[in-house]
């Protein structure tokens, strides 16, 4: 957790299970997606945290927070890649198996568009995310531009891929028997969690306005 230890000073602390005053509150179960992920309120009521549980020095909490956000956003971008890859696998397998008018639906231009565009977007996002992950420095901050950009691109790409898979599968894609309806629901959270799309738009625009030289690298 992060807490103020002095005026304009944020520090990091480890709050452990069983500490007096720390408890789990309401558990949220009725979620659109990510239903296997345990989600609950954290309740802090006069929790006494020993100095030994402080992480780093006084005032380093802001740096920790920003660095963790950068790592989280790249991680969520990678999660988006997995959702898109699974969506592609399902739609390609179905397009090969499903027949209409005597031939596999992969032969129809409408289906080919969904498959081809989803694949091209996935591969493009994958290269971007892998490159940013490779260069991410875990001991510093200041990498928000790339971290935000990867999540902005990959999260929307994942939802489009899942949506395309549902469209290729038709009514089957809407049913729980196939995994793509869950992938679509899970993908939506990636456009919100770890920073909304709108937050990424703001961060990227401001950073580029302050530092346009990055466009010349």
Q: For 57-94, b where at least 16 C-beta lie within 10 A, e where not — what string? A: eeebbeebebbebbbebbbbbbbbbebbbbbbebbbeb
Q: How far apart are CA 205 and CA 209, in angstroms?
A: 6
Q: What is the side-by-side order of every strand in the sheet holding 2-6?
A: 2-6, 9-13, 54-55
Q: How far apart are CA 112 and CA 174, in angstroms?
A: 20
Q: How far apart are CA 191 and CA 197, in angstroms?
A: 6
Q: How far apart are CA 87 and CA 181, in angstroms?
A: 10
Both tokens assigned to 142: 């200041």
- Whether the Cβ atoms of residue 62 and residue 139 lie closer than 8 Å to each other: no
Which positions are catalytic?
72
């Amino acid at each position: 957790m992060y807490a103020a230890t002095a005026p304009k000073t944020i520090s990091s602390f480890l709050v452990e299970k069983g500490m007096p005053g720390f408890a789990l509150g309401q558990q949220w179960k009725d979620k659109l997606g990510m239903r296997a992920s345990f989600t609950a309120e954290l309740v802090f009521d006069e929790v006494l945290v020993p100095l030994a549980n402080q992480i780093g020095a006084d005032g380093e909490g802001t740096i920790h927070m920003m660095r963790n956000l950068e790592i989280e956003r790249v991680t969520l971008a990678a999660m988006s890649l997995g959702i898109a890859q699974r969506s592609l696998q399902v739609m390609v397998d179905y397009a090969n198996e499903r027949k209409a008018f005597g031939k596999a639906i992969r032969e129809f231009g409408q289906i080919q568009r969904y498959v081809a565009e989803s694949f091209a977007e996935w591969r493009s996002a994958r290269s971007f995310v892998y490159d940013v992950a490779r260069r991410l420095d875990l001991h510093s901050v200041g990498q928000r531009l790339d971290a935000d950009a990867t999540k902005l691109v990959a999260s929307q790409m994942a939802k489009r891929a899942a949506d395309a898979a549902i469209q290729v599968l038709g009514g089957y894609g809407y049913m729980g028997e196939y995994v793509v309806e869950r992938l679509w629901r899970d993908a939506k959270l990636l456009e919100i969690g770890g920073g909304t799309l709108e937050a990424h738009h703001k961060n990227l625009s401001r950073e580029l306005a302050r530092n346009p030289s990055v466009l010349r690298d």
